[in-house]
Amino acid sequence: MKPLRLEHILIKHQVWFEARGNAGEKAELNQCDLQGADLKAAVLVEANLQEANLNQADLRQADLRGANLRDAALTDANLQNANLEETDLMWADLSGADLTGANLNGTYLQGADLRGALGLSRTQLDQAVVDEDTQLPDL
């Protein structure tokens, strides 16, 4: 996706979020190729990023509360200090992602691949929802 188009979508989404849906437009970025995208501090609350390619994306300090990232590719993504509270990351590939300081309170990680994830603590995992299909890193 072209950077200017992405920036336009992000602005409209932030307006949508701040106006509680009464203005702007919710971000629909499902299946988008956002590999390596600069999404640092982006407001993507409740955005649809299902099956998006976010490999190597910079999502540091991004607000992704309640976003749909089911089946998303986030290999080697930087999610340092991102807010992933109640985010749907079921079956997402987070292998090699940096989750240092990320808020995983109520984050759905069933079936997610977290092998090789960096900065992930037992406390973060205890706050998230995992199951027998979640592939965990060595902590």
Indicate the domain borders of the chain: 28-139
**Separation CA 52–CA 93 (nearest Å):** 11
Beta bridge partners of 53: 33, 73
Instruction: Average the pLDDT over 132-138 and give the result.
Output: 94
Intra-chain end-to-end CA distance of the chain, in Å: 35
Count the neighbouring beta carbons within 10 Å of the beta carbon of residue 31. Answer: 13
Considering the four listed CATH numbers 2.160.20.80, 3.90.180.10, 3.40.50.970, 3.30.70.920, the one that applies to the domain covering 28-139 is: 2.160.20.80
| The model scores a pTM over 0.85 | yes
SS3 43: strand
C-alpha–C-alpha distance, residues 104 and 45, integer Å: 14
Give me the mean pLDDT over the 6-28 stretch. 96
Write down the mean pLDDT value for the chain. Answer: 96
